[in-house]
Amino acid sequence: METALAAPSPADRPAADPPVHHALRRFMHDTLMRVGALDVTRRLELDCTVNLVQRLLEVLGEPAPDLHATMHTLRHAGASERRAQAAQLYRELAALLAAQPAMALRGAATGSFRRWPDHADTEH
């Protein structure tokens, strides 16, 4: 059974999205897309992607122990297990990020982000 997501009311959104909010949304999107397109047979790509997810979790201030466990398993799993672990990582990260918009808006409005990576709003 599908449920419709309610669109945020204009009162919930700032009048103009600050650049920090745009950069955070872009960072979350890029990271999720990279996890979804991960080629688990390429060790360097796998390590870079897991490091990017860890960096995003630091920026969001999320402990996410389930994600950390999945990333650890993904890094150390045999080749036959990596595809399933990558899919699990994608599902867990998507669920975590789906809960972030309200928090991201509050954080951007108050400037309360603990750390901010150098993630430009440019194409890679």
Of residues 9 and 94, more confidently modeled: 94
Domain regions of the chain by residue span: 17-110
pLDDT of residue 41: 92
Nearest one of 57, 61, 37, 42 to 124, comparing CA atoms: 37
Against a cut of 0.75, is the pTM above it?
no
Q: What is the pLDDT of residues 98-121, one digit of tens each?
A: 887 655 555 555 554 444 444 444
pLDDT of residue 44: 95
Number of CB atoms found within 10 A of residue 96's CB: 19
Q: What is the pLDDT of residues 24-40, one digit of tens each?
A: 889 999 999 999 999 99
Q: Are 46 and 82 contacting, i.e. CB atoms less than 8 angstroms apart?
A: yes
pLDDT of residue 79: 85
